């Protein structure tokens, strides 16, 4: 009997330990789970390169003119800081809010969807796990109303 009781106690402690280490893992920020600044830098680098050559996006003359400014490196930097801050990483974003940043760009709903597809391509390429990818896509989708500015 005593052996059974001590076995039960052992099992209960083991369950507690494993559930507490599970919740510790879940407490990690999305930023940490996608690889910290290195993960952000790699994905933003790839994504911006995709966006700059996307033929659908470059049909929008305002977007095309921004892409022709040759400020790609600066855009990668500012976007990386936005992603870092908005995934629970260091608070380093120094740009405008999403409404102000996009108000003059005349972005359509379709263009927003194109960007979302490009994001997915990048996340697949870098093997971002399904769960994290879902969280990222949901977070990005929540900005559609602010970013889509075409009448």
**Contacting positions for ligand HEM (CB under 6 A):** 57, 63, 66, 78-79, 82, 95-96, 101-102, 105, 107, 111-112, 115, 140, 143, 147
To ligand HEM, the closest distance from the beta carbon of 148 in angstroms equals 7
Query: For ligand HEM, which is the closer residue by CB, 33 or 83?
Result: 83
Torsion of CA 114, 129, 81, 57, to 10 degrees: -10
Question: Half-sphere exposure of 46 toward its Cβ, with a 13 Å CA cutoff?
Answer: 15
To ligand HEM, the closest distance from the beta carbon of 95 in angstroms equals 3
Distance between CA atoms of residues 122 and 48, nearest Å: 10
Closest residue to bound ligand HEM by CB: 95
To ligand HEM, the closest distance from the beta carbon of 66 in angstroms equals 4
Distance between CA atoms of residues 93 and 91, nearest Å: 6
Closest to 129 measured CA to CA, from 25, 49, 58, 59? 25
Query: For ligand HEM, which is the closer residue by CB, 33 or 111?
Result: 111
Query: For ligand HEM, which is the closer residue by CB, 35 or 95?
Result: 95
Six-digit token string for 106 = 């005349």
Query: For ligand HEM, which is the closer residue by CB, 4 or 85?
Result: 85
Query: For ligand HEM, which is the closer residue by CB, 61 or 127?
Result: 61
**Contacts (Cβ under 8 Å, ≥6 apart) of 55:** none
To ligand HEM, the closest distance from the beta carbon of 119 in angstroms equals 8
To ligand HEM, the closest distance from the beta carbon of 46 in angstroms equals 15
In the DSSP assignment, the letter for residue 71 is: -
In the DSSP assignment, the letter for residue 129 is: -
């Amino acid at each position: 009997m005593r052996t059974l009781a001590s076995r039960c106690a052992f099992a209960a402690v083991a369950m507690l330990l494993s559930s507490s280490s599970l919740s510790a893992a879940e407490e990690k920020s999305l930023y940490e789970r996608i690889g910290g600044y290195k993960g952000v830098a790699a994905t933003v680098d790839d994504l911006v390169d995709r966006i700059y050559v996307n033929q659908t996006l470059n049909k929008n003359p305002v977007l095309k003119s921004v892409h022709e400014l040759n400020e790609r490196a600066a855009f990668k930097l500012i976007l990386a800081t936005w992603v870092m801050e908005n995934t629970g990483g260091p608070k380093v974003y120094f740009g405008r809010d999403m409404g102000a940043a996009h108000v003059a760009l005349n972005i359509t709903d379709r263009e927003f969807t194109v960007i979302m597809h490009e994001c997915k391509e990048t996340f697949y390429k870098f093997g971002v796990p399904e769960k994290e990818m879902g969280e990222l896509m949901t977070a990005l989708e929540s900005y559609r109303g602010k970013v889509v500015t075409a009448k």
